[in-house]
Structure 1
Amino acid sequence: MPDQDYASTLTSLGFQPVQPIDQKLRFGLETIYSAEPSLRIENAFEQEAGDVRLVIATISYRPSSGQNSRSVRETIAYFEAPDLRFADFRLQPKGVTGSLLGSMFSMVGFQPVHVPGRDEFNETYLVISMSPDSTRRLLTDDVVDAIMTRRDLAVRSSGPRLVISRSRTVLPADAIKDFVYTAQSVMAPMTSAVRDAMASGDWAPRKEAFDNATQVGGLAGHLLSGTFVKPEIVEQFLEQSPPRVVPPEIMRRQVGYGSIFFYIWGGMFFVIGSIFVIVFANSEELPGWGVLLLGLIPLMGLTAIVLTWRYRAARKRLLRQGLLCRAHVEDVQPTSVYINNQRRYKVRMRIERDGSEVEKKINAYGPEVETARMHIDNGEPTRILVDPQNENRILWIDSLMPAIERPRQST
């Protein structure tokens, strides 16, 4: 619970307590702090003006640098405006921690960002981003001047969200008012800069990040190429009429090689089990019921082979024969399930088919969740493939691509 002075200070500034912590705030902060596990939110107070939201809260997390296994706590200002698209970047004071952070993130494709003509700022702060050109457009003179009023600010951004903090510091009540004013003095010119950039017509920070990572290669390029399919490949695939020729990139992503293991496993059980059954049946060393029990081994292998074949055939049929339908993302809700350290989310969609609408829920993880949120924020429809033989089997085809800026598509 916040102390009385902390609460009264924020209340006097027009903030209201956030009770309980809502899922949208939790998702937004989990997105920005995706590299830091064990995120917790407390003492949250908010101001809202339409869809625009400013939250002051205390958070705790484990630092991604790995230099300290203990949790870090800090007071943050969280800003969210669904109609804005910031370039994803991180800013923090230089020093041992900053240098370590820069070295670590450079290994996975992040690049340092230098602001021309602002040597003092460049010497004081480390800025890293996978879209350095877009980030540089946000660091206008007004933004840099606001940040330079202090030497201990940290800034993170992701999509429509921005977080400002005093670099791993929990602020006392008597410092909250000054912190709110400082955060607002940074947010105001930065939101103005991103609005100007978006109005220019060439604002595409996520596309820049994706292009840079795939061109540079390294760990980031390898991860992205294995996680996403290039948009032009997906668009060319969808331009075909069924039966489609499936590009290897899409086939590998959807069918994969993992299921081949079950062919091998099933084949081994079937062959070895069959040999045992034949040998013991001819030797009469086992009673009849024993031979029948041994017969379960090749039966298990055969079952694995058949189920794997059916699974792969169904996935291939969905890609080749699937009906392309328009869908609208309605909601994203977290679950308590984690797979490979990624929280499972349920994405609720309205799918348009044959003049009617059907509601479906699908599982989503990591970047797929961000894609779903992007469609909710901008209101744009997305695309689904529906199996003509089983309408419950669907594929969210747009989730194969990275959540980057691209023109509206029609079905």
Structure 2
Amino acid sequence: MSQTLDQVAHDLGFEVVTEPGDELRYGLERILGNVSQFHIDWLIEKRSGDVRFVVADVSYRSASGDSQSRLKRETMLYFEQPGLTLPGATIQPRSLTTGLLAVAMNFAGIQQVQFEDDPQFHEACQVMTLQPESTRALLEPALREYLTANPGLTVRTDGPRLVVYRAGQRVDPADLPAFIDETDNVAVSLARRGAQLESLGIDPEAEARAALQRSPALRGRVVPRADLEAFLKQPPPRSIPRTIKRQYLGFAGLFFYVWGGMFLVAGTAVIAGLVAAGEMPPLIALPFSLIPLIGLGAIVVTFLYRRRHKRLLAGGVCRPARVTDVRTTNVTVNNQRRYKVDLQYEFDGRDMTGTINAYDPAVRTAFSLRGTSRETRILVDPLRPDRLLWIDSLPTT
């Protein structure tokens, strides 16, 4: 297969890539949403300046992360153009399943765009987005006609990138020319139209910010820019606004307090009761003592984590920094891949480098800053200057 793929790629002007970079892997994972067990089986690439055309055979499981969920294998065209700002949207064949999904997503502020003026397209395709005005402008009549005439294509757009594929279908190398011809038409049309949105007075990013503010389900995921700037202007020790505290301390810590407390109290009570009643010899009770110890450990770790972040937020020194590298890891938390971000900064006259764990959307910001001269802001612990918090990674509106 590899020899056939090499030949087909060469004939099409592509190159076979054996080791995709972290940024390309991130782009593919991000546009597919929260997926688990993501793997690139093969990948070919063609560049034109900064524009990148990629055809990849990938496999992944649904966002649930359940090992029993169906493993999806698909061949897709991935397009990326720096500076392009496409609204985040999904265009897919209309079905009963996608209809039910649309109802569920509506509660999170994701809307279904109606095209009553184009009944054929409306019947064939379902369009979901947080930015309906931008998405409607993006899907001009010629593209809608093409998608209607080529049923079964799924299209996802997000900022500088988009992907086109047929759900659940893989393409043999010999059939790649036809697949690329079909999907490339969609990618080029979307990129061309996306570049025109600004001249039409349409700003997808502004529409997304407004949508986040309107949706109760999404509003808690972002921090108002005014809150962040006012917070950083305070001299230490700062008062931490609720919007920022929610992002860094959140409800996860409270969950672990409750979970740990339940294990600690219930485990201790059961073991003490059985031992006191003489129904469990002490040597047998010893292994069961791990249950309350696990609970105690969860409480202690959560307390230390929250105290450290509170200290950094309240008393950290705000310093400019530069992102020097972004690296992927094999660790996932809540179906989000963890990345390592290296930051270079100066503190107390010393040049220092720190590494933090990052998840999307902070990873997107890190990749946009990597290797540039643009600065970002961090909070540095004055007592432990190797400890830092990337305050500008907060999603803001």
Partner of 1:342: 336
Q: Which residue in 2 is equivalent to 1:242?
A: 236
Q: Deviations over 1:60-109 (max 9, x none)?
A: 2234599x932222211011122222211111111234324323433432
Identity %: 36
Alpha-carbon displacement from aligned partner over 1:297-343 (angstroms, at most 9, x marks no partner): xxxx9999999877655533422332222222232211122333332
Aligned to 1:394: 388
Aligned 1:348-367 pairs, distance under 5 A: 348-353=342-347, 357-367=351-361
Q: Write out per-residue CA displacement over residues 9-33 of structure 1, whole angstroms, 9 at most, x where no aligned residue.
A: 3321101101123322221111112
- Local SS of the residue matching 2:385: strand
Residues of 2 paired with 1:182 and 1:38: CA distance?
A: 28
Identify which of 315, 318, 329 aligns with 1:324: 318
Cα distance between partner residues in 2 of 1:310 and 1:126: 47
Matching of residues 9-408 of structure 1 within 5 Å: 9-63=8-62, 69-115=69-115, 117-198=117-198, 203-205=203-205, 207-217=206-216, 220-221=217-218, 224-225=219-220, 227-256=221-250, 258=253, 261=257, 314-353=308-347, 357-376=351-370, 380-402=374-396
The SS at the match of 1:349 is strand
Say whether the 8 Å CA contact 2:342–2:354 is kept in structure 1. Answer: yes
Q: Which amino acid is 1:381 matched to? A: E
CA–CA distance in 2 between the matches of 1:241 and 1:120? 60
Shift of 1:350: 2.1
Say how many residue pairs are matched. Answer: 367
Give yes or no for contact 1:102–1:112 (8 Å, CA) kept in 2: yes
| Paired residues of 1:92 and 1:127 also in contact (CA < 8 A) | yes
Distance 1:351 1:197, change over 3 A: farther
Q: CA separation of 1:116/1:302 partners in 2, compared to 1, >3 Å: closer, same or farther?
A: closer
**Paired residue for 2:290?**
none
TM-fit CA distance, 1:183: 2.0
**Structure 1 residue 378 displacement after superposition:** 8.3
1: CA distance between counterparts of 2:110 and 2:373?
30
Q: What secondary structure sits across from 1:390 in the alignment?
A: coil
> Separation in 2 of the partners of 1:83 and 1:101?
31
Asked if the contact 2:34–2:336 (Cα under 8 Å) also holds between the matched residues in 1, the reply is no
Instruction: Give 1:200 shift.
Output: 6.1
Q: Offset of 1:156 from its aligned partner?
A: 0.9
Alpha-carbon displacement from aligned partner over 1:268-316 (angstroms, at most 9, x marks no partner)? 99xx9xxx9xxxxxxxxxxxxxxxxxxxxxxxx9999999877655533
Relative to the length of structure 1, the TM-score reads 0.76
CA gap 1:256/1:241 in 2 versus in 1, 3 angstroms: same
User: How far is 1:167 from its partner?
Assistant: 3.1
* Matched residue type, 2:72: V
What TM-score, normalized to structure 2?
A: 0.79
Letter in 2 for 1:391: P
The 10-residue stretch of structure 1 (189-198 or 143-152) with the greater mean CA deviation from structure 2: 143-152
For 2:340, give the aligned amino acid.
K
Q: Point out the structure with max Rg over C-alpha.
A: 1
Amino acid at match of 1:370: R
Check conservation: 1:83, 1:377, Cα contact below 8 A: no
Equivalent position SS for 2:82: coil
After superposition, the C-alpha distances for 1:241-282 in whole angstroms (9 at most, x for unaligned) are 3343221222343345627939x96xx99xx9xxx9xxxxxx
Matched position secondary structure for 1:320: helix
CA RMSD of aligned residues (A): 3.7
Between 367-376 and 309-318, the greater mean CA deviation after superposition: 309-318
2:74·2:168 contact (CA, 8 Å) conserved in 1? Answer: yes
- Letter of the 2:117 counterpart: G
Opposite residue 366 of structure 2, the aligned amino acid is A
**Structure 2: any 5+ residue segments left out of the alignment?**
273-294
Consecutive unaligned residues of structure 1, counting only runs of 5 or more, are 277-300, 405-411
Q: Compared with structure 1, are the counterparts of its residues 380 and 341 closer, same or farther at alpha carbon in structure 2 (3 Å cutoff)?
A: same
State the AA in 1 paired with 2:241: P
- What is aligned with 1:279? none
Which amino acid in the other structure matches residue 215 of structure 1? R
Q: 2: CA distance between counterparts of 1:309 and 1:169?
A: 48
**Taking structure 1 as reference, are residues 377 and 199 closer, same or farther at Cα in structure 2, changes over 3 Å only?**
farther
Distance 1:83 1:357 in 2: 32
- In structure 2, relative to structure 1, the CA distance for the partners of 1:145 and 1:307 (3 Å cut) is closer
Query: Aligned partners of 1:152, 1:95: CA distance in 2, in Å?
Result: 11
Q: Name the amino acid aligned to 2:51.
A: V
